[in-house]
Amino acid sequence: MQGLGELENGVMDVLWTSDSPMTVREVLAKLNETRDLAYTTVMTVLDNLHRKGWVNRELQNRAYLYTPAESREEAAARVLRELLDSSGDPEAVLLHFAQSASDDETAALRRGLRRRPKR
């Protein structure tokens, strides 16, 4: 995901695929299925993601429980919006994207635009 480092993205993937809030230890266990990370590393990444607004946390007993602040799809849309707003020429960016879109993606865009409320 744009704006996230590799480890931050890995942590977000774990949280997005979880059905319930997770502790640092639970996130660490999931990440360590394919890596070897320290508890403090994951704790720091989660703290940074909280500070950046990517995750929410709630203190339960003596441990924080972490949840994504928004769904993966909402985050991707927000990042895309930020890219368009900072591009200098959002129309050109959208046209380049439309040219690269697959048939399925084009159909999804058409469906979404038809359902969009008139402004």
Q: pLDDT of 55-93, one tens digit each?
A: 999 999 999 999 999 999 999 999 889 889 998 999 999
Number of domains composing the chain: 2
Q: Please identify, among 33, 48, 68, the residue that sits at the C-terminal boundary of a domain.
A: 68
Which residue carries 């070897």 as its tokens?
36
What CATH number does the domain containing 33 carry? 1.10.10.10
Q: pTM value? A: 0.82
Instruction: Name the β-bridge partners of 57.
Output: 66
Phi, psi dihedrals of residue 59, rounded to the nearest 5°: -75, 125
**One domain, residues 16 and 47:** yes
* pLDDT value, residue 1: 59
Q: Are 1 and 76 in contact (CB under 8 A)?
A: yes
Tell me the mean pLDDT in the region 96-116. 90
Q: What is the mean pLDDT of the chain?
A: 93
pLDDT above 90 as % of the chain: 76
The residues, any chain, with a CB within 8 Å of residue 14's CB and separated by 6 or more, are: 22, 27, 30, 31
Mean pLDDT within 26-54: 97
Reported confidence tier of residue 119, pLDDT bands at 50, 70, 90: low
Phi and psi (nearest 5°) for 55? Answer: -130, 155
Given a cut of 80, whether residue 101 has pLDDT beyond it is: yes
